[in-house]
C-alpha cells in the first residue's frame, strides 16, 4: 500500500496533466484527448474505455455543487444581467480546469488500480509504484 505522501504525489501529477506513475509523460494529445500510454514509462492510462467515467463525474459535479449551494442558500438576482454574470462566474472555473480535473480523474483511477489489485492488470506485473 502507498502512504499518504505517495498518494498526494500521484494526485498532484494527475492535476499537472502528467503520468501518475512517473510524472514525466503528458496525459493529453490535444484538447481533452488522452494518449493511450505514457511516452516515458509505458503505463496504459485506461485499461478499458470508461474506467475513469466515475471519477470524471465526481470531479465535474463537486464544482457544480458549489454553484447550486450558492443559489439555494441566498443568491437572488433581480435582473437578467446579474443572473448572466453569476452563470458565467460559475461556468468559467469549471471550463478552465477541465484538463486538470480529467488528469485528476486518471490519477484516481490509477490509485484504484493499485489499491484494488487485479492480477491481469499490467501495472502489477511490471515495475510499479515508481515515485
58-73: per-residue pLDDT in tens?
888 887 888 788 878 8
Cell of 86: 453569476
Question: Left (φ > 0), alpha (ψ -120 to 50) or beta: where does 60 sit?
Answer: alpha
DSSP letter, residue 44: B
pLDDT at 17: 93
Closest C-alpha to 131, from 36, 23, 17:
23
pLDDT at 19: 92
**Res. 43 pLDDT band, cuts 50 70 90:** confident
Q: What percent of the chain has pLDDT over 90?
A: 17
Residue 10 has pLDDT above 70, yes or no: yes
Rg of the chain over all Cα atoms, to the nearest angstrom? 18
Per residue in 100-121, is it b (16+ CB within 10 Å) or e — as a string? ebbbbbbbbbbbebbeeeeeee
Cell of 23: 510524472
Question: Over the stretch 101-121, which tens digit does the pLDDT of each residue have?
Answer: 899 989 998 888 888 877 777
Per-residue pLDDT averaged across 69-92, rounded?
84
Residue 31 has pLDDT above 80, yes or no: yes
Enter the pTM of the model: 0.78
pLDDT at 115: 85
pLDDT at 11: 93
Q: How far apart are CA 103 and CA 94, in angstroms?
A: 14
Amino acid at each position: 500500500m502507498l502512504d499518504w505522501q505517495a498518494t498526494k504525489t500521484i494526485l498532484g501529477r494527475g492535476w499537472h496533466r502528467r503520468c501518475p506513475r512517473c510524472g514525466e509523460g503528458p496525459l493529453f494529445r490535444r484538447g481533452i484527448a488522452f494518449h493511450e500510454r505514457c511516452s516515458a514509462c509505458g503505463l496504459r492510462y485506461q485499461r478499458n474505455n470508461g474506467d475513469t467515467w466515475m471519477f470524471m463525474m465526481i470531479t465535474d459535479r463537486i464544482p457544480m455543487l458549489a454553484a447550486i449551494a450558492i443559489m439555494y442558500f441566498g443568491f437572488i438576482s433581480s435582473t437578467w444581467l446579474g443572473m448572466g454574470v453569476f452563470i458565467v462566474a460559475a461556468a468559467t472555473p469549471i471550463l478552465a480546469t477541465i484538463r486538470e480535473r480529467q488528469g485528476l480523474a486518471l490519477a484516481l483511477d490509477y490509485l484504484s488500480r493499485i489499491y484494488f489489485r487485479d492480477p491481469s492488470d499490467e501495472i502489477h506485473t511490471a515495475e510499479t509504484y515508481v515515485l
